Amino acid sequence: MQRIEDDSLMVHYELQNASTTVMNAKVEAESSLCYIKALNYVSKVIGVSNNLQTGTLKQGSVIKIFCFDVDGGEETKWFRYILILIFRRLFFEKKIVRMEDLTKDLSSEEHERIKTTIQKLNINDKLLARLNSHLYFRKARTEYFKQLATCKEIKSVSIKHNNFDNPENPDFQIESTSFVNYIETFVPETKIEDHAKLYIVSPVIVKGKSIKWKGNYKGQDINFEIMAGQFRTEAQNAEIEFRTGSYIDCKLQFEETFDEDENPLHKEYKVLIVYGYGYDDNYTETLEGKKKRIDKSLPTLFDNLEDW
């Protein structure tokens, strides 16, 4: 059970072979990196500076000790308590964190002190919702357990706060058969931008080549595929002139994910339809562009419903 004074967390990898104290170095190193990434994300979101330190115990299986060196002045132990609680609950217990969880099972004095700290850190339901669902944290947790799952020598992973004399009596334990429950599959969201203005930097005009085109979209250099067959054929047949400032008006598809700061990351750009192309004041409409323009101008069955 976590206490206000606790400043360390033991991660105990119990091995199938009880007589050994070694595990795969690559798995240990890469899983620890995922652990650190997830912890740093929580630190950043709640605004607590943390200099994580690590050590080992010589007894039993493979045991890592993570020491939380939090710089909070007089608030240090309260900051640290909240940081460890949120991290442990999300990363190992795979439970969402609610405001009431931060003060649960505390004495009345500790309860009031933590409430004051929560106010100082500006922790609220919105911030916790961000932590509970953010892809960056979930991906780090997924990768951690993926790494452990590749090491067949690991029987379980458990955690324990500060009192490390008896690692066989952990605060929380996850059997290797349950690692799969922590592994998520992440599918990027597909986005469509209609009438996107995409500047052409380097067209691919050689037939039969699967090389991606290079362009600039909203000030960002991108590589993209041309899926619009007619436009691609005309470009390869030199029927379209490309010069400095050339652009296409198109339906653009891409995949979207987010980084740890919740900034969108885009990749796998594809031009599905080209409505037109040009440079400067010159513009040529394609057949697809003309059809879309005509279809848009036609009245629909529901246009005059307000007159009924």
pLDDT value of position 209: 66
Lowest mean pLDDT among 119-123, 138-142, 193-197, 262-266: 262-266
Domain layout of the chain by residue ranges: 8-182, 189-297
> What confidence tens digit (pLDDT) does each residue in 54-98 have?
665 544 456 777 777 777 777 888 898 999 899 999 999 999 999
- CATH for 189-297 is 2.40.50
The set of residues, in sequence order, having a beta carbon less than 8 Å from that of 132 and lying 6+ positions away, is: 90, 96, 97
Which residues contact residue 72 at a Cβ distance below 8 angstroms, ignoring those fewer than 6 apart? 48, 49, 78, 79, 80
- pLDDT tens per residue, range 141-185: 999 999 999 988 889 999 988 766 676 788 899 999 999 999 998
- What are the beta bridge partners of residue 264? 258
C-alpha span between 211 and 268 (Å, rounded): 13
At residue 218, what are phi and psi to the nearest 5 degrees? 55, 40
Cβ 236 vs Cβ 207: under 8 Å: yes
At 205-253, the pLDDT tens digits run 777 666 799 999 999 999 999 998 899 989 888 899 899 999 999 999 9
Contact between 293 and 285 (Cβ < 8 Å): yes
The tokens describing 153, both together, are: 């020598």
- Residues across the chain: 308
3-state SS, residue 14: strand
User: Hey, what are 276's tokens?
Assistant: 């037109």
Task: Enumerate the β-bridge partners of residue 69.
Answer: 51
Q: How far is CA 60 from CA 25, 51, 199, in A?
A: 17, 27, 61
Q: Tell me, what's the pLDDT at 60? A: 43
67 φ/ψ sector (left φ>0, alpha ψ -120 to 50, else beta): beta
Residue 44 banded pLDDT, cuts 50, 70, 90: confident
pLDDT higher for 43 or 218? 218
DSSP summary character for residue 113: H
pTM equals 0.67
What's residue 302's pLDDT?
A: 54
**How far is Cα 248 from Cα 243, in angstroms, rounded to an integer?**
12
Residue type, 173: Q
Helix (H) or strand (E) holding 138: helix 135-150
Residue with structure tokens 């885009």? Answer: 266
Q: Is the pLDDT of residue 11 over 90?
A: no
